[in-house]
Amino acid sequence: MPKSKKRGSNHQRGAGGQHRNVQPFSDEDASIETMSHCSGFSDPASFTEEGPEVDEEATQEDFEYKLKGFIDLTLDKSAKTRQAALEGLKNALTSKILYEFILERRMTLTDSIERCIKKGKSDEQSAAARLACLLCVQLGSGIESEEILKTLGPVLKKIICDGTASIQARQACATCLGVCCFIVTDDITELYSTMECLENIFTKWYQRESDTNGISSTHNTVLHISALLAWTLLLTICPVSEVKKKLEMHLHKLPNLLSCDDVNMRIAAGETLALLFELARETEADFFYEDMELLTQKLRALATDGNKHRAKVDKRKQRSVFRDVLRAVEERDFPTETVKFGPERMYIDCWVKKHTYDTFKEILGSGMQYHLQSNEFLRNVFELGPPVMLDAATLKTMKIPRFERHLYNSAAFKARTKARSKCRDKRTDVGEFF
């Protein structure tokens, strides 16, 4: 006879099966509630969702009320709650221009970020560092951002140089330090000090050569990549005399990084080399590189890499990047890219501009297009002029209805599926042989 599936009542299980105290509102509950609020800021579209017209002033007040709640929660005892609050603030700052709101509370926010970086653990430190980046992006290159960097700069450098700190936290702090210093460009001493701090990280790879297997990858690779990219960003705003010094110091050593086992490090080193060659040719019309033949051989090998022990995705990505890098080094050529945002478009026509755009895109994510339209600091960086002011009627005519967007996306999805199905046919899949 089969056993009955009926079990004891909930009351009996709670009393005898599991011995735990039930609290009316625990730290975990608070963090869950906070994260549910934070998820509302995960998509910029959530702020401009189609629907009936609402009172904009009331909506703005409600939005700022939530932000004030997040700021208060950055001081919570629960680490999960603090991290969720930091993420909520970060998502909000990527999706809206909040200059006035931040300006009034910048000291409170800076203190909260400093406390989270000093006392928090890996994820919380990373979230705090990313939020610090966004504060400076919102405030621009004024005295307010300078005050933030003066407060957080020593803390960020300490974490970057601390070998006992988590790699994730050190990586985020390296990016944050580079971006904040890029925004606050007035203090040349701070600029050189920051570059030296970052150099001390990625130059450790110059000596890490092995016999025939290239540079062996370690768990520190992501940190070295972030330090190299942040250093390269700062090099683009250095005086010509300093650029020449850095070129003499690094141009003959950077090719060593092309032998790294990590594809992302190889790509970062390749793009940095292309940018350095671009700067060298701008500073000296008759620039000559002694080891050009050896370098082009390395770049050509990476641009046509077909090693079977490497993943196909990595090989495709690497070949695409190094074809452009090889053309930049050999022919001084750059493949122009076009970025569209709203009614405007921006042309990326050099490696300096590309590296700057990629850096801020990594920070702002899906909010990059919105900030290119509305953020005065970013528009100054990319020489886009003052923001284009459009009235509500013009914006409404430009906006595609949701149903039409759905139809367009469905058609594009079907076309893309058919094209990919053809490419998957073994008789036509010959891309790996080229």
The pLDDT confidence band at residue 310, using thresholds 50, 70 and 90, is confident
Give SS3 for 333. Answer: coil
Q: What pLDDT was estimated at residue 204?
A: 85
Residue 92: is its pLDDT beyond 90? yes
Residue 419: is its pLDDT beyond 90? no
| 396: in domain | no
| 4: in domain | no
Q: Are 122 and 197 part of one and the same domain?
A: yes
What is the C-alpha to C-alpha distance for residues 259 and 263, in angstroms, rounded to an integer?
Answer: 9
Looking at 335, 363, 378, which one is the last position of a domain? 335
The helix (H) or strand (E) run that includes residue 339 is strand 337-341
What is the domain count for the chain? 2
| 433: in domain | no
Looking at 275, 308, 335, which one is the last position of a domain? 335
Q: Are 86 and 145 part of one and the same domain?
A: yes
Q: Are 232 and 121 part of one and the same domain?
A: yes
Q: What is the CATH number of the domain that holds 96?
A: 1.25.10.10
What is the C-alpha to C-alpha distance for residues 124 and 130, in angstroms, rounded to an integer?
Answer: 10
Looking at 335, 356, 380, which one is the last position of a domain? 335
> What mean pLDDT comes out for the span 322-346?
92
Angle (CA) 61 65 68, round 5°: 140
Q: Are 80 and 226 part of one and the same domain?
A: yes
Largest CA distance in the chain: 94
Beta-carbon contacts of 342 under 8 Å, excluding residues fewer than 6 positions away, are 369, 373, 388, 390, 398
Q: What pLDDT was estimated at residue 2?
A: 47
Q: What pLDDT was estimated at residue 423?
A: 62
Q: Are 180 and 295 part of one and the same domain?
A: no
Residue 158: is its pLDDT beyond 90? yes
What is residue 117's DSSP assignment? H
- By residue count, the chain amounts to 434
> What mean pLDDT comes out for the span 15-41?
42
- State pLDDT tens for residues 42-59: 444 444 444 445 567 888
What are the structure tokens assigned to 202, written together? Answer: 């990625």
Q: Are 197 and 292 part of one and the same domain?
A: no
Q: What pLDDT was estimated at residue 406?
A: 76
| 165: in domain | yes
| 342: in domain | no
Higher-scoring residue by pLDDT: 384, 27: 384
- State pLDDT tens for residues 217-263: 467 899 999 999 999 999 999 999 999 999 999 999 999 999 888 99
Angle (CA) 196 201 204, round 5°: 115
Beta-carbon contacts of 225 under 8 Å, excluding residues fewer than 6 positions away, are 202, 262, 264, 265, 268
Q: Are 201 and 243 part of one and the same domain?
A: no
The pLDDT confidence band at residue 282, using thresholds 50, 70 and 90, is very high
Q: Are 161 and 199 in contact (CB under 8 A)?
A: no
Q: Are 120 and 149 part of one and the same domain?
A: yes
> What mean pLDDT comes out for the span 353-377?
95
The pLDDT confidence band at residue 391, using thresholds 50, 70 and 90, is low
Q: Are 149 and 111 in contact (CB under 8 A)?
A: no
Q: Are 124 and 267 part of one and the same domain?
A: no
Residue 1: is its pLDDT beyond 90? no
The pLDDT confidence band at residue 425, using thresholds 50, 70 and 90, is low
What is the C-alpha to C-alpha distance for residues 40 and 369, in angstroms, rounded to an integer?
Answer: 19
Q: What pLDDT was estimated at residue 343?
A: 87
| 1: in domain | no
- State pLDDT tens for residues 68-77: 999 999 999 9
Q: Are 98 and 244 part of one and the same domain?
A: no
Q: Are 85 and 231 part of one and the same domain?
A: yes
| 388: in domain | no
| 395: in domain | no
Looking at every residue in the chain, the average pLDDT score rounds to 83
- State pLDDT tens for residues 99-134: 999 999 999 999 999 999 999 999 999 999 999 999
Computed over its alpha carbons, how large is the radius of gyration of the chain? 26
Q: What pLDDT was estimated at residue 54?
A: 55
Q: Are 81 and 200 part of one and the same domain?
A: yes
Give me the domain span that covers residue 234. 62-206+219-238
